[in-house]
A and B are shown apart, each in its own frame.
Chain A
Amino acid sequence: MNQSKIDIKEFEKHNYFATKDLVDVVNAAIFLNKPLLIEGPAGTGKTYLAKTLSKLLQKELIRLQCHEGIDEDKAIYEWNYKKQLLSIQNEKNEKDLFTEDYLIERPILQSIKNDNCLFLVDEIDRSDEEFEALLLEVLAENQVTIPELGTIVGKKNNLTILTSNATRELSEALRRRCIYFYLDYPSVEIETKVILNNVNSISEDKAKKYSLFSAFLRKLNLNKPPSLIETVEWVKYNHENNYDQLDSNIGILIKDNEDQATYTEKIKQDNEFTN
């Protein structure tokens, strides 16, 4: 494992702008060889962090997207019944049917067998509670038990990242095994950097103004506050095509009918008030 510390600048080289706290926590997770649980609202760069880390540490990214009803068959492994059936019927001779030839590897098993990978469990809060229990063995012992084959133990240098939108409370057992970080909406400083990086020919001054503006949007008590990527796309489109009005193309920024109404009203109010 790469025991040297990751520097904040290395993140920035890969176009990810992190706070010092986040970098510290990532370093701790690598050092302690523990999974990292990242919680926070949608669109703050949780999944992107995993992608960046996989590039930065030169590890293969294996992703497990959780959803309601995900189970062992979809996450760990499955026996290829049809292939087994065919092989019995064709060859007639007795053969061990439970070998790796007949095993379909799903993301968890893939990650354990891989020497150098970053395993991302995305949106764990969407899965059922039973599924969390399945993960515990992998997270704590870094191993998977297949009754027919025995226990497969993974290499030590894999990093696991779990992300959650906190729509439900994760179990204590899962939390205990992880290092926790709450990734909130970015600060003005970070958002400015992201805008500068993504929008062509924008001045630093203007980027700062836009990021303060998006901080203002998130305070508006909207049904769905704009995420980082939405603000950046909006600024990018408006700036590069010379739209000056704040209410132009808000479809990129705010994706809710009522929110759009609140937003335009609020901007009008602000202007009337100060003029």
Chain B
Amino acid sequence: MNLQTDDVINFSAICKQNNLQFPSERFSDLINYLNIQGLKSVNDELQIMYHLLPSNKNEKDKLKDLISQYFGYVIKQDRPEFIDLDEYKDKNYFDNFTDDVNTRFHNIPKDILNNFGEIDFSRPVSNMYWLNQIKKSQSYENEISFFNISFETELDQIVNSQNKENFTNNLDMKLLELIQEMRNQFKESYMPNELSQKENLEETDFLYTNNDERNKLLKETKVLGMMLANKFIKHSNSLSKGKLNLRKTIRKSLQNGGSLYSTVFKPRVKKKPRLILLCDISGSMALYSLFGLTLLFGIVQRFRSVKAFVFIDGLTEITKDLQKMKINNIKSILNNWNSFVKADGHSDYQRSFDELILNKKIVNSSTNSLLVIGDARNNYRSISQETISKLSKSFDNIYWMNPERKQYWNTGDSRFMDFQKVCESYSEVRNFNQLKNFIENINFKKVIK
């Protein structure tokens, strides 16, 4: 083994410091395996370490960063390929797209930067700003113009546009690296916080995500919804076993010639426990309602006997719409915003909750759980104590996700204080991690009436 055992042990301590814990047997397995394998280089061994230690995708990503920090080795990944087309004039151009020192590609970003001229790092703008400026420059466009040819077949057309995309992505990454390098040389001359890298996507406020990031997060939000639904199914199953159902037991025993082998039980709770979901889609919720709806979508996909509503100044049920919908279309609910307006289009929690409580089809004597996604901003309307006490009587568990920053709760027209009292749990949910934590911590309480 080229890696020293001490190195591995030290590294495991570093993993622990970074909230990445692996069972010790995994390390011993790894060391065993590496000893037998007899690989030639440390890098190969690190590559195997990257595959053997983690047990989910999240850990893998974290470990990759740590390996590159501690050992200075970047885990190999598939690089997009460039495909040569007949129409390209310079036949050997594509041989040069690897970033080894000897190839032409290595020099392209440097040439572009040199032609761009001086970059003024004292300006309080990010690296991305400079990248965008560089992308407008003539020399950058010259490099890209290589791809501006028209092709006969559709396939070639798309292959060309993919080549272009891969090439520009690669080039942009290199340029960003170079800009960062240059910026580091001028470190002292400006504010240090500009150096800080973009924070973890899962910690980023939903509002500040770009389109791709948002799509990625929305997909994961759907999975979270499914997880929550699973939790509720488990909760509802746990309520199901009650007294012996004699009639059904005897009926079943006929299969075995009248001998009693299996028993059938009555459900302990007569009516199925219900999960009701409410999502505020009024203007003040902005993008958060999209994430709320996606969460609802995930729950509805996994678990059919759930009711999902949106509200502004009155309730509208969207369970059926969500069941038929596909994940890319959730936005269409928000586009049809006006069809959900019942009165004046300003959120009215009083009216919405009254409609909920008075609807006997929704709220019945069985155990109910309620999940609300909303900012509790009631446009200076009042909320009666009666509604709130009825709300807490109708539901055994109330969970509330508030997308507003905690320091603004109960300021201005926010009436969150009134609801806080009756909630089983509530939390600020502005980014993916908060959402994940909230869902993980939900525990449906058993209430048997």
Contacts and interface: CB of A to CB of B under 8 A. Distances in A.
Q: Do A and B bind each other?
A: yes
Contacts of A178: 55
B264 to A, nearest CB: 16
B151 interface: yes
B150 interface: yes
Contacts of B242: none
Interface in B139-180: 148, 150-151, 153-163
A85 B259 contact: yes
B29 interface: yes
B124 interface: no
Contact of B56 (A24, A167, A175, A221): A175
A72 B231 CA distance: 21
B81 A188 contact: yes
A48 interface: no
A166 B155 contact: no
A181 interface: yes
Contact of B81 (A32, A169, A181, A212): A212
Interface SS, B side: helix
Contacts of B60: 180, 182
Contacts of A242: none
Interface string A1-28: 0000000000000000001010011001
B344 to A, nearest CB: 35
Interface stretch (B46-54, B190-198, B281-289): B46-54
A271 B161 CA distance: 10
Contacts, number: 118
Contacts of A246: 154-155, 158
A274 B215 contact: no
A150 B251 CA distance: 33
Given A81-B256, A167-B226, A25 B51 contact: yes
Contacts of B163: 212
Interface in B50-68: 51-52, 54-57, 60
A31 B47 contact: no
B88 interface: no
A249 interface: no
A37 B59 CA distance: 15
A122 to B, nearest CB: 19
B155 A215 contact: no
B158 A181 contact: no
A109 B32 CA distance: 30
B78 interface: yes
A176 B55 contact: yes
B327 interface: yes
A179 B52 contact: yes
A274 B160 contact: yes
A208 interface: yes
Interface string B314-355: 000000000000111100000000000000000000000000
B47 A24 contact: yes
A85 B230 contact: no
A24 B51 contact: yes
A216 to B, nearest CB: 5
B158 A258 contact: no
A212 B161 CA distance: 10
Interface string A213-228: 1011000011100000
Given A85-B256, A246-B155, A25 B161 contact: no
Contacts of B32: 32
Contacts of B33: 28, 31-32
Nearest to B55: A175
Contacts of B150: 274-275
B47 to A, nearest CB: 7
B23 interface: yes
* Interface band, chain A: 35 or more
A34 interface: yes
B259 A213 contact: no
Interface in B1-37: 23, 29, 32-33, 36
A215 B36 contact: no
B261 A245 contact: no
A132 B232 CA distance: 18
Interface string B263-295: 000000000000000000000000000000000
Interface residues of B, number: 48
Interface in B177-204: none
A213 B162 contact: yes
B234 interface: yes
A245 B81 contact: no
A129 interface: yes
Interface string A67-96: 000000000000001100100010000000
B227 interface: yes
B215 A221 contact: yes
A28 B49 CA distance: 11
A267 interface: yes
A209 interface: yes
B290 to A, nearest CB: 15
A244 interface: yes
A270 interface: yes
Interface in A168-218: 168-169, 172, 175-176, 178-182, 187-189, 205, 208-210, 212-213, 215-216
Contact of A216 (B56, B158, B227, B234): B158
B223 interface: yes
B257 interface: yes
Contacts of B156: 209
A137 to B, nearest CB: 17
Contacts of A32: 29, 32-33
Interface string B425-442: 000000000000000000
19 contacts: A24-B51, A25-B52, A34-B29, A39-B56, A81-B261, A129-B234, A169-B56, A169-B227, A176-B55, A205-B84, A212-B159, A212-B162, A222-B328, A223-B328, A246-B155, A267-B154, A270-B157, A270-B161, A274-B148
Given A167-B223, A175-B55, A212-B159, 16 more contacts: A24-B47, A24-B48, A31-B33, A39-B56, A85-B257, A166-B57, A180-B54, A180-B60, A182-B60, A187-B78, A210-B155, A212-B81, A212-B158, A213-B159, A215-B80, A245-B154
Instruction: In the A-B complex, list the 8 residue pairs whose CB atoms are closest, starting with the nearest.
Output: A175-B55, A187-B78, A188-B81, A246-B154, A223-B326, A180-B55, A209-B159, A208-B83
